[in-house]
Amino acid sequence: MHEQRRDVAVDAPAALGELFAARCEQELGRAIGERGAASLVVTGGSAAEVLLPRLVDARIDWARVHVFWSDERAVPADDAQSNYRLVRELWLDPARVPATSVHRMPAEAEDLPAAAAAHERELIAICGEPPGFDVMLLGVGPDGHVASLFPGHPLLAERRKLVAAVEDSPKPPPRRLTLTLPALVGAHLLVVAAFGAAKAAAIAEALGDPASRLPVAQVVRAAERSLVLLDAAAAGRSRGPAR
């Protein structure tokens, strides 16, 4: 078994953004050098809002980076709630990431399980099985969820599928597509980002309790290398406003 490496950075969001972009340059650059291609998983929410704008000026050949999402809500691609739309506006469009690099989750499909299976085939065709993503960025919910894997949900027991339909997300909207734990845990570098005091309890449990069953705890524990990016409030060091 590999030695695990976990780094925790507590800083202002702008500084965390710089750190994230530098690690992406390093990890994706190395993968491109070794294999001619790299893969990056992104998320929606505040982690995307804070960190992804920093990728616009990063020195990375985006034509060689395959971009996937951790999860997507069952809305059209241009909907205000779409994680794809958010990422496109924050980073893909301003950085001119070519369309051939972008692998949107088709979560607006009527038949969500069929859409999950189709997306899984696309993922395996590009990244192999297990996918071994080079960099995986995940946000964290106040309840400790990551992607659309919620505490206590039966989907946490999934061991075979890499992409799954969710029809009962406690965070609206209820219908979603998500990567599963088997897809999340194989990343070469897991980056977990949390901002705001509302995340402090979940982060404290995930980093401090080796028996925690929270989804964020499970992915951080399983990661070969992880980087946890926290502002002071999420680290429990100040009483910042809950977000």
Q: Which residues here bind ligand 6PG, judged by CB under 6 A?
A: 43-47, 70-71, 73, 83, 139-141, 146-147, 171
Amino acid at site 87: V
**Measured from the CB atom, is 43 or 218 closer to ligand 6PG?**
43
**Measured from the CB atom, is 31 or 194 closer to ligand 6PG?**
194
Contact by Cβ (8 Å): 188, 134: yes
Contact by Cβ (8 Å): 214, 140: no
Euclidean distance between CA atoms 158 and 209, whole angstroms: 23
From the list 235, 159, 152, the residue with the least C-alpha distance to 198 is 235
Quote the least distance from Cβ 153 to ligand 6PG, whole Å. 13
DSSP 152-201: T-GGGG--S-SEEEES--SSSSS-EEEE-HHHHTT-SEEEEEE-SGGGHH
Quote the least distance from Cβ 194 to ligand 6PG, whole Å. 7
**Measured from the CB atom, is 16 or 47 closer to ligand 6PG?**
47
Q: How many CA atoms lie within 13 A of 167 on its CB side?
A: 6
Please tell me whether residue 205 adopts helix, strand or coil conformation.
helix
**Measured from the CB atom, is 128 or 174 closer to ligand 6PG?**
174
Contact by Cβ (8 Å): 161, 116: yes
Quote the least distance from Cβ 10 to ligand 6PG, whole Å. 17
Quote the least distance from Cβ 12 to ligand 6PG, whole Å. 17
Quote the least distance from Cβ 83 to ligand 6PG, whole Å. 5
Quote the least distance from Cβ 144 to ligand 6PG, whole Å. 10
**Measured from the CB atom, is 31 or 133 closer to ligand 6PG?**
133
**Measured from the CB atom, is 21 or 52 closer to ligand 6PG?**
52
CA 65 to chain centre: 15
Query: Residue for token digits 């990063």?
Result: 58
